[in-house]
Chain A
């Protein structure tokens, strides 16, 4: 079978274990401390641009600075508040007119992956368009 480039090498020897062990307990403690630094919430804000789709009303302000660590769910709630819509009113949101992110995706992750020209485009509509 031809080796497909990029597939893990099958050396078959345990000497080639990928993860070298640390020094036991000490390194585990160090690692746990490191995890705390990675858990720190990024306080920075990123620019989100809301764009109405179809019959959805256009807001006076469309550019907002949103805390990067927020989940997308918070952005939806924020938008709902800005539009003055109630919890039950239909509101569909999309990124770049392409897909609906999972509500627990963070703004930071979405921004890093999908921002254009320095902002993250969030489309909103009253009906499911690209669902």
Chain B
């Protein structure tokens, strides 16, 4: 069992990270999806080697398209484009589209782009039932790379690694605020640590990332304490005052003490829903995925005692998540590297 905490006062250091938490974090980190990248044939520069313009990457779910650009560019320059093309092409004008014409966003983690495509496919009549609820098939996501005229108003961000880093840090801060009502855990990091967390993403290094992330991301306790659950969350957005009760201290930084878990809900072709997700409900029971889904999408996930079947399924990190999963646990173990649990809902066929 490895320990990631330090003795910094705001680090979750009261207990070492349980092995199963580390396991799921590592599984999430190591998750990859297959991408097939093809330059739009209409835009291939003259003298390109047309036989080879398709590039395959097994990309980490927690990474971002701008971080793949150097590799893609190297391949295209070495193998496909000729010298003249290499001189004129500007990487900052490149952009990606799915086969169906969906614009791909620079600031979405690749895993989210993939799962979002999976659920969007689930509503298309031509879907070859490849999203059977028993086994979600893994097909390469086919991307079309355009080399010019990026639709900047829709892309909203430039494709540079720097813009990507800023967006990523912004998401970490937003997640921090969701959990605790302040960003002091993030702003309390030294600059070197903040840069280090991004380096962990760029280099895809689990240890480098979690060395810093463990100071910010809540962890799960080895055994739940018998202390009473936190009071029902009120409309107040202020952070809870530090507990004077020594018994409450062990879970202070824990996953079940957050004000809300950072979760976003994606429907095929939108919208994206975000709301407060308390770790425990008013009756003291843990907030489960089933409860979350039937609260936000009651027509798709009817609440018991209704015997209507679910019309949909939920993917988290590409996995069909069990409905009894607890939201707090998901926030600690299966969130993306940016701190967010992305729940992608597709139609069951």
Contact = CB atoms under 8 A, between A and B. Distances in A.
Contacts of B156: 73, 102-104
Interface in B77-134: 105, 107, 123, 133-134
Interface string A28-71: 10111011011100000000000000000000000000000000
A5 B19 contact: no
B181 to A, nearest CB: 9
A113 B182 CA distance: 13
Interface residues of A, number: 49
Nearest to B127: A28
Nearest to B307: A20
B274 A109 contact: yes
A31 B300 contact: yes
Contacts of B264: 109
A15 interface: no
A21 B174 contact: no
Interface in B153-187: 156-157, 166-167, 169-171, 173-174, 176-178, 182-183, 187
* Secondary structure of the B contact surface, majority rule: loop
Interface stretch (B30-38, B53-61, B141-149, B322-330): B322-330
Contacts of A98: 173, 177, 182-183
Interface of A: 1-9, 17-25, 27-28, 30-32, 34-35, 37-39, 73, 95-96, 98-106, 109-110, 112-116, 130-131
Interface of B: 18-21, 24, 105, 107, 123, 133-134, 156-157, 166-167, 169-171, 173-174, 176-178, 182-183, 187, 220-224, 237, 255, 260, 264, 267-276, 286, 297, 299-300, 309-313, 320-326, 328-329, 333, 347-349
